[in-house]
Chain A
Amino acid sequence: MIASLRSNFVRYLPLLILAAAWEIAARFELVSTTALPPLSDVVRSWVELLLDGDLVRNSAASLFRIAAGLGLSVIIGTIIGIGMAWWKPVNILIAPIVEVLYPVPKSALIPVTVIWLGYGDGSKILLIFLGCMVPVTIGAFNGARASEQVLVWSARSMGAGKLRVLWDVVAPGALPELLNGIRTAVALSFILLVSAELIAAQKGFGFLIGSLGAGGSYSAMYAVVLTVAFLGFAADRAYLMIAKRTLAWREAA
């Protein structure tokens, strides 16, 4: 217990060193404190933002957008991806479109989503949905395509119907690749959300960062930037834990 605490301390010491360097550089005004307010001021601003409700309100708006966009993309992307692997005609018709959409930098769609759906939730959800659907679809497709033919045949010969095979054999087999694709999508959803909110929004993290920066309250701006960065990191770690648990049946086998 103590030993693991100590090894964790040694492991993450560099981050503490960076934080200390930040505080010292700003405190002793080695750099302009406008450009880099001391870390302790940033922490104070964070508490203020939290208490007056600004942070909570904007976080809730952003997290709702991510949940909605990501949720939609996971459902529809999985269906399309497995469909592509399972029915040839779907593959032949949709694969070229996925192949063309895959390399498009999705951030280019930000102005269009605003033209279509305005400054509110809709445009962000649409952007996240469109952007995240591609990695989910590709993950589901690669996973389902690689499902072992022997397993499919055995299930069929034991009398399982096509849909039953799809649900009991192909879908679990596709899971590792699919979960990998969703992990990419989670990271992408944060990037797209913050970009879209920085460019055109009336609430959310990006909006808050932009308006605090424009108002010159830089320590508060840093506080929100670090909050978003931390949430993105925490989302990835939480996702990894869930994914590991979901795949536990594979490791046991």
Chain B
Amino acid sequence: MQSMPPNASTGEPLNGLPEKAARLAVNLMRAFARVFSILVLLAAWQWLSQSGTFTPYQLPSFTAVVGRIWDDATTGDLAINAGLTLYRALAGFAICAVLGIAIGMAMSRSVIANWFFDPIISVGFPMPKIAFLPVIILWLGVYDTAKITMIVFDGIFPVIAATVIGIQGVEKELIWSARNMGASKYEVLRHVVLPAASPQIITGLQVALPLSLIVTVVAEMLMGGYGLGGAMMQAAHFANSTSVFAGIVEIAVIGYVLIKAMALVRRRLLVWHPEANAPATA
């Protein structure tokens, strides 16, 4: 047996490449475990659906559902329905973001705005706003305006609350220094207050985004028309459970992609921030 030559710089034997290799191995294991448990889940689904325990109506097989999604994709239905759902969710979310941050900023700048909005936010935030959906239908009908209004009504509260809390938490020294160095009020807001509050604000947006998706789906289910939620209700009325399951998978994929994208945006926007990691959620 020939022993390994010692490493010149550290004197350690070269056989390990210890830390890097170990970390790589752990990461590989994790990636494998991740794929593995998802695969087990899908295999269990397929097996359960074919075992005869459930009727195909109760649990269509995974392959049948994938086939249905493929059919929807080739006929173009998927593009129309998913596109409309995405459009509504993102339009509603964008309005929540712009309007919510604006109201939050107004509340932290003006005593009157704060006096007016504060009780409305503190009472309105924990309310199940979705109960107002029939009222919204009464006022605005069942088309995009009504659906997007419902999304904004639900999603705007966490954005406003996060903006107010974020701006409150900005260190006074930062603002004083900037003012002292001759920055105008607007410049302080634009270059000091907003960036310093942005981690909180983005956290608020990260709460509003999944909420927008939930509400989009419910609004589409109740108001009908095109869109993934409406298509699922239609399928349910015709006892077409394969299409219902296909709808769940499609909505799940959209939700997954949007939320991962949002986490990426957070990391991009906050690279400069010491707390550059995503918040402590899975």
Interface residues of A (CB under 8 A from B): 10-15, 18, 34-35, 92-100, 102-112, 114-116, 138, 141-142, 187, 190-191, 193-195, 198-199, 205-206, 209-210, 213, 218, 221-222, 224-225, 228-230, 232-233, 235-237
Contacts and interface: CB of A to CB of B under 8 A. Distances in A.
Contact of B233 (A92, A111, A230): A111
B80 interface: no
Nearest to B30: A92
Contacts of B225: none
8 closest cross-chain pairs (CB), A and B = A236-B126, A190-B128, A103-B259, A105-B213, A232-B128, A96-B34, A111-B236, A108-B251
Nearest to A142: B280
B21 interface: no
A224 to B, nearest CB: 8
B236 A114 contact: yes
A139 B119 CA distance: 28
B250 to A, nearest CB: 9
B232 interface: yes
Given A35-B138, A111-B232, A209 B217 contact: no
A11 B33 contact: no
Contacts of A205: 131
B57 A105 contact: no
Residue among B34, B233, B245 with most chain A CB within 10 A = B34
B177 interface: no
Interface in B239-267: 241, 244-245, 247-248, 251-252, 255-256, 258-260
B41 A209 contact: no
B180 to A, nearest CB: 34
Contacts of A221: 134-135
B197 to A, nearest CB: 21
A115 B57 contact: yes
Interface residues of B, number: 60
Nearest to A99: B282
Nearest to B207: A184
Interface in B211-250: 213-218, 221-222, 228-229, 232-233, 235-236, 241, 244-245, 247-248
Contacts of A100: 38, 252, 256
Given A107-B214, A112-B248, A199-B221, A228 B123 contact: no
Given A105-B216, A108-B228, 18 more contacts: A14-B120, A35-B138, A96-B34, A99-B282, A102-B259, A103-B255, A104-B252, A104-B255, A104-B256, A110-B221, A112-B241, A112-B245, A115-B244, A195-B130, A221-B135, A225-B132, A225-B134, A225-B135
Contact of B129 (A10, A106, A229, A237): A229
Nearest to B140: A35
B272 interface: no
Given A111-B232, A138-B281, A213-B138, A232 B214 contact: no
B27 interface: no
Residue among A106, A114, A230 with most chain B CB within 10 A = A106
A105 B86 CA distance: 13
B25 to A, nearest CB: 14
A97 B130 contact: no
A163 B248 CA distance: 39
Given A96-B38, A198-B133, A198-B222, A105 B214 contact: yes
A116 to B, nearest CB: 6
B90 to A, nearest CB: 14
A182 to B, nearest CB: 13
A15 B121 CA distance: 10
